[in-house]
Amino acid sequence: MAQQNQQQNHQQNQLVMEVDEPVPQTEQLRMDQTRNDAGGFVWVVDDMKRFRRFVVLGSETPTYNTDDRKLGRENAQSLLRLLKNGRGIEVVNEILKYSVEGRTAKLNPLILAFAICARLGDLKTKQRAYEVLDQICRIPTHLFLFVVNSKILSKPGSGWGKASRKAIKKWYTQKEAIKLAMDVTKYQKCEGWSHADIARVTHPMSDKPSIQCVLKYAVRGYEEMIASFPMSQDNTNELETLLNFFKAVEEIKKLTTKEEDRVVELIEGQNLVREHVPTGCLGSMKVWNALLKKMPMTAMMHNLNKMTSIGLLAEGSPQVKNVCDKLQNEDLLRNARIHPFNMLLALKTYESGKGEKGSLEWKANVEITKALEKAFYLSFKNVEPTGKSYMLAMDVSGSMQASECIGASTMKPHVASAAMAMMTARTEEHHEFVAFSHEIVPMKISSNMNLDEVLKICNEIPMGSTDCAQPMLYALYNNLKIDVFIVYTDSETYYGDVHPREALAKYRHHSGIHNAKLIVVAMTSNGFTIADPDDPGMLDIVGFDSAAPQVMREFILGNF
């Protein structure tokens, strides 16, 4: 078998070298090409696509980096050009769509783009931006980031105009009073700004006593609020509900572990959440038991480690049954829209018994581990197919099992690769799977396999040197029609006679799929890439965190 693969590898390389002479860059290959300043023919990436790239990636270069990077106007030049060319309303509508549909990997680029439209756009763009502010900035964290970016973008000495004040007033005054009360107590500060700071510059006001009550609390504090809105039999039910809620929020702040029974009463009586509970009480099993009863799916997953560490999720306990039932409830999983990779990351982190950051440690509960694994398989139903034809190529060199994924350190690169292979097999109709080192090995991965079965197939393939050109050469040699090549590697490539970029160019030319894409997922970042940064059909994923699958999907669908 090894001799047969080596022979095919040699034939693939020879094919690339012997096929028709490539069209020189000084000649037009297709009608949709244009001549650049140097005289070569290229494809133009229009400003709207570059803008979408910025919103999703945080930069206009085709690289998604798991590390947070400081953003600035210089990274959004395409957006500024769109505004200058009178396309501001179109841009705001695009931001709204991406926000509502949850299509961005990180929050900061989207909020920065929105602030640029609101502060630097023309009159109609500003009007449209402020019209939809409450739809894009849905929680206080979003609003705080918008205010911070707006201040940075504003000219020195300029204040908040009538339109901006009106929009922020709407954000505070158009909600249900109890929902606003939960928001201002759950999310109190961000980026050095508080609700009181925002109120001082925008002056939100309302004719509704209930909203006035919440604003008074957020800006002036509990004592002044209760002086203005005392408990009384004449209060409406809505106002009385608010006063009781704020009273509970203030009381719980002062309680200690010795008063855990009262903490539980307040949580259950007023639907308080973890953010309301003082840190000193978060070591109590009773407190976490009260929080768990109404905890949403995503919050529950994030807190499994803590609840296990304090002993709440002991084997055979009713709390474990509650958690396992939720994790295996298809309706809850679907409504939470949890991606399979996020579920796998939760599983591997829980199994590891220690957090990526901090000193928290726990002994994983076997029942919960099994429930998380089942939830991983059930969550594949949340992924919508793209309808594209895939080749998913997994580097099986030794280094893929020796290191950790950047951005997901609890997972080895070969495990993350196998998980994504499963996702493709279960959601896409047209797919090919190959393993590669210095040679290519087809893999039979079907939609009914579990993760261990996929890993077993990968582990049986002999390791070798890394040649990342192999997937494209294999597709060319076998006349396969592939829209997207996804290569999972550590980028430690040196073997072979053909550069990956040249292999893709040859494949595009001879297959007729001129927009065939290549995604290079560098599971570990060593500062190098095999993707051409000047090719709009190539995307770098530097490290692999929970946001990477969404970035890849947006790129595959041509949204940036």
467-502: pLDDT as tens digits: 778 889 899 999 999 999 998 876 554 444 667 778
Whole-number Å distance between alpha carbons of 251 and 262 = 9
Using a pLDDT cut of 90, give the percent of the chain over it: 48
Whether the per-residue pLDDT at 280 is higher than 70: the answer is yes
The confidence score (pLDDT) of residue 493 equals 47
The tally of CA atoms less than 13 A away on the side-chain side of residue 293 is 12
Instruction: Write down the CATH number for the domain with range 386-556.
Output: 3.40.50.410
> Could you tell me the two tokens for 436?
């590669």
Best-predicted range by mean pLDDT (90-104, 150-164, 295-309): 295-309
Whole-number Å distance between alpha carbons of 132 and 95 = 10
Summarize the confidence of residues 350-371 as an average pLDDT.
Answer: 89
Whether the per-residue pLDDT at 387 is higher than 80: the answer is yes
The confidence score (pLDDT) of residue 4 equals 53
Whether the per-residue pLDDT at 236 is higher than 90: the answer is no
> Could you tell me the two tokens for 517?
């894409």
Domain coordinates of the chain in residue numbers? 47-215, 308-382, 386-556
Say if residues 181 and 242 touch (Cβ distance below 8 Å): yes
Instruction: Report pLDDT digits (tens) over 109-150.
Output: 999 999 999 999 999 999 999 999 999 999 999 999 999 999
Instruction: Report pLDDT digits (tens) over 52-108.
Output: 888 887 777 776 766 655 666 667 888 999 999 999 999 999 999 989 888 787 788
The confidence score (pLDDT) of residue 184 equals 95
Whole-number Å distance between alpha carbons of 228 and 218 = 13
The confidence score (pLDDT) of residue 366 equals 95
SS3 string of 190-226? ECCEEHHHHHHHHCCCCCCHHHHHHHHHHHHCHHHHH
Q: How far is CA 327 from CA 100, 256, 288, in A?
A: 25, 32, 18
Question: How does the average pLDDT of the chain come out, rounded?
Answer: 84
Q: How confident is the model at residue 339 (pLDDT cuts 50, 70, 90)?
A: confident
Written as one string, the DSSP assignment of 420-463 is HHHHHHHH-SEEEEEEESSSEEEE---TT--HHHHHHHHHTSPP
Q: How confident is the model at residue 414 (pLDDT cuts 50, 70, 90)?
A: confident
The confidence score (pLDDT) of residue 161 equals 85
Summarize the confidence of residues 163-169 as an average pLDDT.
Answer: 91
CA-based nearest residue to 503, from 533, 461, 534, 531: 531
Written as one string, the DSSP assignment of 537-551 is TEEEEES--TTHHHH
Say if residues 88 and 96 touch (Cβ distance below 8 Å): no
Does this model's pTM top 0.85? My answer is: no
Whether the per-residue pLDDT at 212 is higher than 60: the answer is yes
Say if residues 278 and 252 touch (Cβ distance below 8 Å): yes
User: Could you tell me what percentage of the chain is helix, strand and coil, using 3-state DSSP and rounding each to the nearest 5?
Assistant: 55, 10, 35
The confidence score (pLDDT) of residue 495 equals 43
Summarize the confidence of residues 235-257 as an average pLDDT.
Answer: 94
The confidence score (pLDDT) of residue 415 equals 84
Instruction: Report pLDDT digits (tens) over 428-456.
Output: 999 999 987 667 889 888 888 888 898 88
Whether the per-residue pLDDT at 324 is higher than 50: the answer is yes
The confidence score (pLDDT) of residue 42 equals 47
The confidence score (pLDDT) of residue 102 equals 80
Q: How confident is the model at residue 45 (pLDDT cuts 50, 70, 90)?
A: low
| Dihedral sign, Cα of residue 233, residue 234, residue 237, residue 242 | negative
Residue 520: helix, strand or coil by DSSP?
A: strand
What one-letter code names the amino acid at 197? D
